[in-house]
Amino acid sequence: MRQIPLPDPGTPDVRSPGRYLWWVARGQVPTIVGGVTFGIIWMVAQSVMPAIIGRAIDEGVRAEDLSRLGVWAAVLLGVGVVQAVAGIFRHRFAVQNWLTAAYRTVQVVARHSVRLGATLPRKVSTGEVVSIGSSDLAHVGNSIEVMGRAAGAFVAFLVVAAILLEASVTLGLVVLIGVPALLLLLGPLLKPLQRRNLAQREMMGDLNTLASDIVGGLRVLRGIGGEEVFHQRYVEESQRVRAAGVQVGKLQSLLDALQIFLPGVFVVIVVWLGARFAVAGQITPGELVAFYGYSAFLMIPLRTGTEVANKLIRGLVAGRRICHVLSIQPEAQDVETPRSASPFGELVDVKSGLRVQPGRLTAVVSERPDETAELADRLGRFCDDPALLDGVSLSDLDRDFVRKTIVVSDSGATLFSGCLRDELDIRGTGSDAHLLGALATASADDVLEALPDGLDSDVEERGRSLSGGQRQRIVLARALAAEPEILVLVEPTSAVDAHTEARIASRLRKHRAGRTTVVTTASPLMLDQADEVVLIQAGRVTAVGSHKDLLADPRYRRVVVRGEDE
């Protein structure tokens, strides 16, 4: 069995949904071949059973020859054993093919999401990514898994047609022409089904996004009394999705009904012709019994054919959304020949004129929070706007070097579910003392004391069990525990009270002594601890100095005291 997750999922072909599914299939050829092989054996073993029973009737029962009856009974038993064993292995390969295809999709999407970084939420909604992980990967797995049964059904159909042609040319031609004709009759339903599936898939993504936004902002909604408004909006959107699902269900139910009705009509025709030929003496009683068996068996390849078409349609719809995410390119592109720079050099934002001296705590103040957020993105190389480290553009440096050297922690940083120790120790090298020191600097001692197992306690997804201030302090502790040479903090104390903020400000200065730290904030408590404060207006640096010196500047004072001028 293949180890999952895969050591290397490979580089996907995202030029089209069909090419993506083909790429997934090519990555697991041995197991697909195994599934196809045992699928053929399994289905062919079923297809020859009616012929064996017919021979047993003609040569054993009708001729009253017990020895021949015993021979054919033994053959039937052997074929049954072969079918059972092949069925077991076919199912094992089918499950492995499904899991491998699904996990490969998860891995390439997760890897690309990490590569995109800050670009991902700007280009794709949260609901799209959630839908890929909740439903699309299953459809991709189904489209690969069904290949074994598809090959088996096709080969079994040819075997049955050959047997019937040998017994009766008319019956053989009816099967050879009738089965493809039935599949063609179902063809006109497949395109509308694909279109409705795609529409429902897009609406599901939008609904997931709305749900994520509501859950993420639930505390705010409660605070302003907006729960009922957003609840009603979610109800309306969910009803639209339900209506789209009903449309898909109507067409799917029609397709499922025709999968029963049309093969049933076909079976009646085959049985009727076989009975007429038996009465006319053109076929033996054993062959008539075999025809009855084939009439029932032909339902399997017919239904398998429509199932394959249905799953491929869903796989293509899922592949389209997956390709959309995988085709997004990060705003910060890698260079073929990266340059080198000292992590202890000066950090410069060319666009604003900000110059961050190495080893100092620099605070950045702006009336517009989006300006400082964009500044942090440039300093962390989450976009290709010019920023320099040691005189070298960040865009010309190796991205892994930039990520290890410069850590940006913004107010929207997310906590993942899992052990608190793993949450804090992102590099996997921190000792307990190191992690406890980071928690103390972030004034998160009380959070740790409230947890039953300390560092080994589990944290819920997005830190839902914590308050807003507690989550913010844990996020700050995580950034501090990484011990980067350059740390950029975006509004790290916006959700804590003044006493806690004062402790964090004084401890942060000591904790980061000798290393470069940039803090975007308008808090006087934090600004007072900074070695240098920079005021930015209209995207440009307009004043530089200490907090006390800049208080004499009315532009600075207006921002810091929230509009109250002296």
**What pLDDT score was predicted for residue 440?**
93
Residue 4 lies in a domain: no
CA atoms of 470 and 30, how far apart (whole Å)? 50
Tokens of 260: 């029963």
In a domain, 331, yes or no: no
Q: Tokens 């590569």, residue? A: 115
φ and ψ at 415, to 5 degrees?
A: -95, 135
Average per-residue pLDDT for the chain: 83
The whole-number pLDDT of residue 525 equals 92
Which of 326, 361, 380 lies at the terminal end of a domain, its last residue? 326
Mean pLDDT, residues 392-397 taken together:
91
Instruction: Using pLDDT thresholds of 50, 70 and 90, give the confidence band for residue 407.
Output: very high
pLDDT band at 564 (very low <50, low <70, confident <90, very high): very low
Tell whether 2 is covered by a domain.
no
Query: Percentage of residues in the chain with pLDDT exceeding 90?
Result: 37
Whether 290 and 365 map to the same domain: the answer is no
Q: Which helix (H) or strand (E) holds 348?
A: strand 347-349
Domain assignment of residue 565, yes or no = no
How would residue 210 be classed by pLDDT, with cut points 50, 70 and 90?
low
**47: number of Cβ within 10 Å:** 27
Segment 413-419 shows an average pLDDT of 77
Residue 291 lies in a domain: yes
Q: Is the dihedral of CA 534, 537, 541, 542 positive or negative?
A: negative
Q: Which three-class secondary structure state does DSSP give residue 218?
A: helix
Higher pLDDT, 125 or 509: 509
**Quick one: pLDDT at residue 21?**
94
> What pLDDT sits at residue 246?
80
Residues 561, 564, 566: CA angle, nearest 5 degrees = 100
pLDDT at res. 439: 92
Whether the predicted pLDDT of 503 surpasses 90 = yes
Distance CA 503, CA 520 (A): 17
Give the CATH number for residue 492: 3.40.50.300
Query: Which pLDDT belongs to residue 565?
Result: 44
pLDDT for res 194: 60
Question: Averaged over 363-370, what is the pLDDT?
Answer: 90
| Residue 486 and residue 516 in contact, taking contact as beta carbons nearer than 8 Å | yes
Tokens representing residue 463 in the block: 């830190």
Report, as an integer, the average pLDDT of 256-260. Answer: 72
Q: Which of 291, 326, 361 is the last residue of a domain?
A: 326
Confidence of residue 414 (pLDDT cuts 50, 70, 90): confident
pLDDT value at residue 177:
78
Is 181 in the same domain as 313? Answer: yes
* pLDDT over threshold 60, residue 220: no
- Residue found by looking up tokens 């074929």 in the block: 79
CA triple 17-21-298, angle to 5 deg = 110
Residues in the chain, overall count: 566
- Looking at the predicted structure, is the pLDDT value of residue 87 above 70? yes
For residue 418, is it within any domain?
A: yes
Residue that is last in its domain, among 326, 357, 392: 326
In a domain? residue 130: yes
Examine the domain organization and report whether 307 and 383 are in the same domain: no
Q: What is the CATH number of the domain that holds 237?
A: 1.20.1560.10
Residues 308 and 356 in one domain: no
What is the number of domains present in the chain?
Answer: 2
Does the pLDDT value for residue 526 go beyond 80?
A: yes
Whether the pTM exceeds 0.75: the reply is no
CB neighbours (10 Å) of residue 188? 9
Confidence of residue 373 (pLDDT cuts 50, 70, 90): confident
Instruction: Inform me whether the pLDDT recorded for 464 exceeds 80.
Output: no
- Quick: pLDDT tens for 141-198: 999 999 888 999 889 888 888 887 877 777 777 777 777 777 676 667 666 766 666 6
Q: Are residues 185 and 273 in the same domain?
A: yes
Q: Do both 258 and 398 map to the same domain? A: no
d(CA 315, CA 317): 5
The pLDDT tens digits for 470-481 are: 888 899 999 999
Residues 391 and 286 in one domain: no
Min mean pLDDT across 124-138, 478-492, 517-531 is at 124-138
The pLDDT score that the predictor gives to residue 528 is 93
Check whether 221 has a pLDDT greater than 60.
no
Res 89: pLDDT: 95
Integer-rounded Cα radius of gyration of the chain: 34
Same domain, 85 and 186: yes
**Considering only CA atoms, which of 163, 159, 147 is closest in space to residue 38?**
147
pLDDT at 566 over 60: no
pLDDT higher at 237 or 213: 237
Whether 456 and 414 map to the same domain: the answer is: yes
Mean pLDDT of 120-141: 76
Give the DSSP H or E segment for 488: strand 486-490
pLDDT in tens, 323-345: 988 998 877 777 788 899 999 99
Between vectors from CA 505 to CA 504 and to CA 506, what angle results, nearest 5°?
A: 95
Same domain, 67 and 115: yes
Do 90 and 222 share a structural domain? yes
- Provide the b/e sequence for 440-467 (b: ≥16 CB within 10 Å): bbbbbeebbeeeeeebebebeeebeebe
- Structural domain boundaries enclosing 193: 17-326
d(CA 504, CA 523): 12
Higher pLDDT, 208 or 459: 459
* pLDDT value of position 171: 72
**Mean pLDDT, residues 416-421:** 81
Work out the average pLDDT over 496-512.
Answer: 92
303 and 361, same structural domain? no
Distance between CA atoms of residues 9 and 365, nearest Å: 44
- Domain membership flag for residue 388: yes
Instruction: Report H helices in 389-431.
Output: 399-405, 420-424
Query: Is it the case that residue 219 has pLDDT exceeding 50?
Result: no
The whole-number pLDDT of residue 165 equals: 80
Whole-number pLDDT of residue 193: 63
The end-to-end CA distance of the chain, in Å, is 74
